[in-house]
Structure 1
Amino acid sequence: MDLLMSDVRLFVKAVEMGGLTQAADALGVPKASASRQLKRLEVLVGHALLHRGAGRFGLTGEGRIFLPTAKEVLEAVDQALAQLSDTNETLTGRLRISVPGYVGRELLCSHLAGFMAAHPQLKLTVNISADRVDLFREDADVMIRAGREGCEEFVARRIKKLGRVLCAAPSYLDRHPAINSVDDLAGHSFLTSGPERQAMEMVIPGRHQEYIVKAAGVFRANDPELLQRIASSGGGIALIPLLCAEGAIRSGALVSVLPSLELMPKELNLMYLPARRNTRKIRTFVDFIFEALERSIQAQKQEGPASEGGAEMFSGANPGKAELRMATQVPDQ
């Protein structure tokens, strides 16, 4: 009996997803067929590879031995297939990208048309979501996210550092005493996507140190655009990416709070699975986006001081000064 790659792939996928049913769904295999495939693989290797039963699923001792080699074999086959596909100049199939809304609109929208024009036979799907997708479940081929928490198993290429800003609506600030120092932030209501804390506290990520502030209230959401909208309506002081706050700041709906306080920027990363690093469609998209962003940055530099604020806001080189400069551009009401 010959070893079938589809059986090996099913075994590895079941381990990654924690169940045979989940693996079958991800691979588009009927549950009954998946069970037969796993049994066939176990007969071939001469050992049970997975414990499975009511409420029990996991690797056997032999499964733990077999798993690393199985992954290596699959990666080698995938790389070989990717190299063969390079002989075909036309990209086909589909490419699924998951990206937060504000990044998709501000960062990708001006570049995707060029990519689609260059590869008209590739089906491109963009999923706007603030949540991390599960690349192992094949919810997406590529995802763009701020930070790397929980993504240690992925290849992560840093796109840029996103500057962050503390900002609030003028109507909110008018109801409270002037804020001239970090200590003055105590007792305020905050809007953040940061992790929850046991006490009613807000963490302010300064570039050189973290500040813990006693808060009157902390509202958390995984969508910076939602936080920006609540802040614009007077709901509190928001800690959000500069990229997300830029439009509201220019319109006067938001103003900077402590603009001289330099905040720690957050990395914006493009991520994909290690086993797919040589997939041609992913490699082509990654190269295209990085080259396009580099051209945008160079163009902004050449345009002069009028555009430097935008470039600085995106890079997070000096969030405080970038924010202060933008606030002074708002006309008198």
Structure 2
Amino acid sequence: MRDFSLSDVRLFTKAAQLGGLTPAADALSVPKASASRQLQRLEAMVGHQLLHRGSARFALTEEGREFLVAAQHVLTVLDDVMVSLSSGGGTVAGRLRVIAPQYYGRDLLAMHLPQFMSTYPQLEVAVETGNDLDELSRGEVDVAIRRGREGCDEMVARHLMDEPMVLCAAPSYLASRLAIEKVSDFASHAFLVSESEGRKKEISLPTIGETHRLSVESVFQSDDQELILKLTLAAKGIGMLPLSLAQSHIDSGALGPVLPSLNLSPQEINLVYLPSRRHSPKIKIFVDYVVNIFKQP
């Protein structure tokens, strides 16, 4: 088997990133006339067509999408090593891409990233909000902060914290409904929950030692916990929220705890990354930095 040309692989991944061979050739300073030949040479090596020909817009074939994932992993690892070696192992540089849920991305990381960036001025940090693990799997993101471990079986997961959860509602919402004294009273109420906890008109309430599965009046789902907070404050239902997000509103009286004796299970917060990236200097220093932050009181 012949060796792949690294320049051909890099051209292909750049074309996938930019949406065409021409912008990829321009970005890599490759003559446009040779870009097509490089792609054909790569396809011959792979044994499959990687791009659809004659399409009105740039599109990868199924084999092209599969090859892209592997190619991005290889190039990212090589780039990490090259940056590390060129700096003599003493300077961390390059671009670090982080994805986090909105609340943790904005409110928790924002307090600590300036110090991290000052410590490593040659490292460019980009934080995106979201929960899409596919971006991590494709190598488009270096590190992700995740609620729970669902979908993370093949990832390295570093535990950051257990976030206490609380059921709460606006006083005006509670005043217009039947009093809640036991779990069965939830049947006549509307719930506002994160994406993984509710389904249509059914809800799971995980508590210490038991999970209650209930039929309720309605369930609104969103992975944006700040949106759930806003709807809860607007008296649209009972919100299931991180205590740290709801605490100030509970203290002010804008929200009231609902059946606090239920003792909801805390939400596990993890930092995850691909096993193949565990030796990347930029990932290692970021992971250690964030883990140490969450260890502090």
Look up the match of 2:262: 261
Q: Secondary structure at the match of 2:261?
A: coil
Aligned-residue offset at 1:106:
3.9
- Going from structure 1 to structure 2, the CA distance change for 1:50 and 1:277 (only over 3 Å counts) comes to farther
- Amino acid of the structure 2 residue aligned with 1:281: K
Q: Distance in 2 between matches of 1:97 and 1:212?
A: 34
Q: Distance in 2 between matches of 1:125 and 1:68?
A: 21
Deviations 1:101-125 (A, max 9, x none): 3213442233222212212232223
Look up the match of 1:277: 278
Aligned-residue offset at 1:204:
1.3
Q: List runs of 5+ in structure 1 lacking aligned partners.
A: 14-19, 298-333
Matched, 1:22 2:26: no
Which aligned pairs between 1:184-263 and structure 2 lie closer than 5 A?
184-195=185-196, 200-263=201-264
Q: List runs of 5+ in structure 2 lacking aligned partners.
A: 27-31
- Amino acid of the structure 1 residue aligned with 2:215: K
The answer to whether the Cα contact below 8 Å between 2:198 and 2:221 also exists between their aligned partners in 1 is no
Q: Distance in 2 between matches of 1:156 and 1:26?
A: 35
Look up the match of 1:57: 61
Deviations 1:268-315 (A, max 9, x none): 121233333222112111111212322x22xxxxxxxxxxxxxxxxxx
- Amino acid of the structure 1 residue aligned with 2:96: L
Q: Distance in 2 between matches of 1:77 and 1:56?
A: 24
- Amino acid of the structure 1 residue aligned with 2:16: Q
Q: Distance in 2 between matches of 1:258 and 1:26?
A: 56
Q: Secondary structure at the match of 1:120?
A: coil
- Going from structure 1 to structure 2, the CA distance change for 1:9 and 1:210 (only over 3 Å counts) comes to farther
The answer to whether the Cα contact below 8 Å between 2:8 and 2:42 also exists between their aligned partners in 1 is yes
- Going from structure 1 to structure 2, the CA distance change for 1:263 and 1:197 (only over 3 Å counts) comes to closer
Aligned-residue offset at 1:241:
1.8
Look up the match of 1:48: 47
% identical equivalent positions: 41
Aligned-residue offset at 1:191:
0.5
Deviations 1:183-210 (A, max 9, x none): 1111101101234876522221223222
Which aligned pairs between 1:1-333 and structure 2 lie closer than 5 A?
3-8=4-9, 22=16, 25=19, 29-30=24-25, 36-43=37-44, 45=45, 48-50=47-49, 53=52, 57-59=61-63, 77=78, 80-81=81-82, 84=85, 87-127=88-128, 129-132=129-132, 134-136=135-137, 139-195=140-196, 200-294=201-295, 296-297=296-297
Give the aligned length.
283
Q: Distance in 2 between matches of 1:148 and 1:269?
A: 7
- Going from structure 1 to structure 2, the CA distance change for 1:264 and 1:221 (only over 3 Å counts) comes to same
Could you tell me the TM-score, scaled by structure 2's length? Answer: 0.77
Look up the match of 1:317: none
Deviations 1:70-129 (A, max 9, x none): 8997687467436525624233333232222321344223322221221223222333x2
The answer to whether the Cα contact below 8 Å between 1:143 and 1:272 also exists between their aligned partners in 2 is yes
Q: Distance in 2 between matches of 1:281 and 1:71?
A: 17
Q: Secondary structure at the match of 2:173?
A: helix
Aligned-residue offset at 1:141:
2.7
- Amino acid of the structure 2 residue aligned with 1:22: A
The answer to whether the Cα contact below 8 Å between 1:158 and 1:267 also exists between their aligned partners in 2 is yes
The answer to whether the Cα contact below 8 Å between 1:157 and 1:269 also exists between their aligned partners in 2 is yes
The answer to whether the Cα contact below 8 Å between 1:86 and 1:280 also exists between their aligned partners in 2 is no
Deviations 1:117-151 (A, max 9, x none): 21223222333x24426135555332212123344
Q: Distance in 1 between matches of 2:47 and 2:114?
A: 50
Q: Distance in 2 between matches of 1:93 and 1:67?
A: 21
